[in-house]
């Protein structure tokens, strides 16, 4: 089984489009489950997911309140997942569901983690504001320097993990930086990592949950701590 984990927080505008697109594009040769982790949403996110559950039995829902951020949502999803492979992705369609089968196939070729990469040859970013794209590339560049990684896209949250590699993993970071913490700790563990290129697009509806003025400083502080996880 494949477990696809999608953390959501106040995504009522984009969820219907995501769910419909997901089930149109998904192409897996084994059973799968789609796990939404509702991170304390205050809008109609939970209600919308429950409505779609009536027609799609593969949808699972985990809800809690109040909002506790990605650093809480992802481990909750990991614990609930029943699959031998765990995929993480966003709900804004920046991560195309049709790419999941490619991540899984690459993982089955003797890898522990496969990253959906925006920066390998043939991949790219489309329709994203120049400021956001530049910030993402700068963050990725300096993060790679800090952890001395040859990977092209270390900040992508679109990933497939072999479930076994996640056993015993304990995380400390609370926000978006938890994705980097997970990667660094698994690198230190000796995980074999590969990348699959894809074209990321900007969200059509709703707002990004990463707000520079609110999360930027915390992310930088997190990167410094993660440097310690990598080397000490």
Please state the pTM of the whole predicted model.
0.88
Residue 220's domain spans which residues? Answer: 2-231
- Decide if 70 contacts 8 (C-beta within 8 A): no
Q: How many domains does the chain have?
A: 1
Q: Report pLDDT for 155.
A: 87
Q: What is the mean pLDDT of each run of 10 residues along the chain (232 residues)?
A: 97 96 96 98 98 97 96 97 98 95 96 96 79 68 73 93 96 90 92 96 63 58 71 64
Distances (CA, A) of 82 to 2, 54, 70: 8, 21, 20
pLDDT in tens, 209-232: 555 445 556 667 776 776 676 766
CATH number at residue 44: 3.90.550.10
Strands 124-126 and 199-201: parallel
Closest C-alpha among 184, 72, 157, 159 to residue 107: 159
Half-sphere exposure of 50 (CA within 13 A, CB side): 7
Give the pLDDT confidence score for residue 221 in this predicted structure: 73
Q: Residue 50 has what pLDDT?
A: 98
The backbone region for 66, taken as left when phi is positive above 0, alpha when psi lies in -120 to 50, beta otherwise, is beta
pLDDT in tens, 70-94: 999 999 999 999 999 999 999 999 9
pLDDT tens across 20-34, in order? 999 999 999 999 999
- Amino acid 214: pLDDT: 56
Residue 135's pLDDT is what?
66
């Amino acid at each position: 089984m494949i477990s696809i984990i999608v953390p959501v927080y106040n995504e009522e505008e984009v969820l219907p489009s995501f769910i419909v697109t997901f089930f149109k594009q998904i192409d897996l040769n084994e059973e799968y489950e789609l796990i939404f982790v509702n991170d304390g949403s205050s809008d109609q996110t939970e209600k919308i997911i429950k409505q779609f559950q009536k027609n799609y039995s593969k949808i699972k829902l985990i809800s809690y309140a109040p909002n506790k951020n990605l650093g809480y949502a992802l481990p909750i999803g990991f614990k609930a997942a029943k699959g031998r492979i765990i995929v993480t992705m966003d709900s804004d369609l920046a991560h195309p569901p049709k790419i999941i089968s490619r991540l899984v196939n690459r993982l089955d070729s003797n890898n522990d983690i496969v990253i959906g990469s925006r920066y390998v040859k043939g991949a790219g970013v489309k329709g994203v504001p120049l400021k956001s794209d530049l910030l993402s590339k700068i963050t990725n560049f300096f993060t790679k320097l800090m952890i001395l990684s040859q990977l092209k896209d270390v900040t992508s949250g679109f990933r497939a993990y072999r479930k076994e590699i996640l056993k015993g993993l304990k995380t400390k970071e609370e926000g978006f930086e938890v994705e980097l913490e997970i990667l660094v700790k698994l690198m230190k563990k000796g995980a074999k990592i590969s990348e699959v290129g894809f074209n990321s697009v900007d969200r059509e509806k709703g707002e990004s949950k990463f707000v520079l003025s609110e999360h930027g400083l915390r992310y930088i502080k997190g990167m410094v701590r993660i440097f310690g996880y990598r080397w000490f």
